[in-house]
Amino acid sequence: MPGRGVRSGQGPRFGGGAGMSAAAPPEATPGDIIEARDVVLSFGPTPALQGASLSVAAGEILAIMGPSGSGKTTLLHCLAGILTPKTGEIHFDGGRIDTLGETERSTLRRDRFGFVFQFGQLVPELTTEENIALPLLLGGVRRAAALKEAGTWFERLGLEGLEKRRSGELSGGQAQRVALARGLVARPEVLFADEPTGSLDSLTGEHVMDLLVTAAREQGTTVILVTHEPRVAAYADREVIVRDGKVRSAVRTTS
Ligand SMILES: Nc1ncnc2c1ncn2[C@@H]1O[C@H](COP(=O)(O)OP(=O)(O)OP(=O)(O)O)[C@@H](O)[C@H]1O
Ligand SMILES: [Mg+2]
C-alpha cells in the first residue's frame, strides 16, 4: 500500500498530514464519522457525563483534555460503545449505536474500532507478534496471514528482532509501540486511545505519538485521544476540554 513504511520523525503536524499519500486531510472529508449528543451518565450517585456533546470528522485526530475525574474516559467509552449513556445518543457512520444490543456492539468494536490504553494491556504470555495479530485473529483472519500482517509493523515501529519476545519482557516504550500496532493492525475506522503515552517519559511519549499520527494518517483512521499532556495534544488536529462532564472547545495555545 502506498505510504507504508513512511516515517515522519518531524513532530507535530497540523491540518491533515501534508506529504502523506494515503490519507485524505480532515478538511477534505466533511461529515462526522462519530458523534455524542447530549450524553448523560452517572455511576450510582456520581455524575460522570452531564450533557456531553462531541462530533469528530472522518480522518480527524482529536485530543480530549481536562482535569482528572472530569469524564474523559467515560466519554471515550460511550463513543466506543463500551458504556451506554443513561440519556443522549451516540452515532457512528450514520447510525445510532447506543441502542444496539451488547453482541452487536462488541462486534462493532471488534470489526471497526481499535483501542490503545495507558499501560498497553498486552497479553504478557503472548509474543509481541501474537499480541499485534490479536485483533486480526479475533476477527477470523488465519494465523499465518495475521502474523504476516503483524510482522509488517516491526520495522516501522523500530522493533525489529523483537517478534518472538514475550510482551511481558519489553520496556514501557516498546510495549506501548506494540499496543499501538495492535490498535491499528486491523485498520480500524476509529482508534480510541486513553492516555497512550501516560506511562512513558516525554521523549518516548512523543515518539509513540509521532508513530500513532503517521500510521493513522496513512490508513485514514480517525483518532480520539485522551491525554493530560499538552505536548501530546499538539499532535492532534483539534483539542477539546472535558470539564464537569461537558465538552468545551479548546483554544490551541501551542504555536
Ligand atoms: N466504574 C466507576 N464506578 C464509579 N465511579 C466511576 C467509575 N468510573 C468513573 N467514575 C467516576 O466518574 C467520574 C468521571 O470519571 P472518568 O474516569 O471518566 O474521569 P477522567 O476524566 O477519565 O479522569 P482521569 O483523568 O483521572 O482518568 C469521576 O468522578 C469518577 O470517579
Ligand atoms: Mg481517565
Which residue owns the Cα nearest ligand 1 atom 4?
43
Distance 67 CA to ligand 2 centre (A): 9
Q: Which residues constitute the domain of residue 71?
A: 32-249
Q: First-to-last CA distance in the chain?
A: 33
Would you say residue 235 lies in a domain?
yes
What digits encode the pLDDT tens for the residues 209-252? 999 999 999 999 999 999 999 989 999 999 999 999 999 987 76
Would you say residue 3 lies in a domain?
no
Work out the average pLDDT over 57-76. 96
Would you say residue 15 lies in a domain?
no
At residue 150, does pLDDT exceed 90?
yes
Would you say residue 174 lies in a domain?
yes
Would you say residue 17 lies in a domain?
no
Q: CB of 145 within 8 A of CB of 102? A: no
Work out the average pLDDT over 105-133. 93
Q: CB of 56 within 8 A of CB of 191? A: no
What pLDDT, on a 0 to 100 scale, did the predictor assign at position 7? 31
Which ligand places an atom closest to the C-alpha of 228? 1
What pLDDT, on a 0 to 100 scale, did the predictor assign at position 23? 40
At residue 14, does pLDDT exceed 70?
no
Work out the burial of residue 9: count CB atoms within 10 Å of its CB; fewer than 13 is exposed, 13-18 middle, 19 or more buried: exposed
Cα angle 239, 207, 226 (rounded to 5 degrees) comes to 30
At residue 105, does pLDDT exceed 80?
yes
CATH code, domain carrying 117: 3.40.50.300
Mean pLDDT of the chain: 87
Would you say residue 4 lies in a domain?
no
137 grid coordinates: 485473529
Q: What percent of the chain has pLDDT over 90?
A: 75
Q: Which residue in 49, 5, 47, 21 sits closest to 151, CA to CA?
A: 5
Ligand 1 site, CB within 6 A: 43, 46, 48, 66, 68-74
Query: 10 in helix, strand or coil?
Result: coil
Q: Which of 192 and 29 is assigned the larger pLDDT?
A: 192
Would you say residue 254 lies in a domain?
no
What pLDDT, on a 0 to 100 scale, did the predictor assign at position 120? 72
13-22, 24-33, 70-79: least confident range: 13-22
Q: What percent of the chain has pLDDT over 70?
A: 86
In the structure, ligand 2 is a single-atom ion and the residues with CB under 5 Å from it are: 73
Site to probe by mutation for ligand 1, drawn from 49, 50, 64, 74 as the one with most ligand atoms within 8 Å of Cβ, is: 74
Work out the average pLDDT over 152-167. 93
Work out the average pLDDT over 124-139. 95
Work out the burial of residue 249: count CB atoms within 10 Å of its CB; fewer than 13 is exposed, 13-18 middle, 19 or more buried: exposed
What digits encode the pLDDT tens for the residues 183-220? 999 999 999 999 999 888 888 888 889 999 999 999 99
The tally of domains found in the chain comes to 1
At residue 16, does pLDDT exceed 80?
no
Would you say residue 214 lies in a domain?
yes
For 135-183, where are the E strands, in sequence order? none
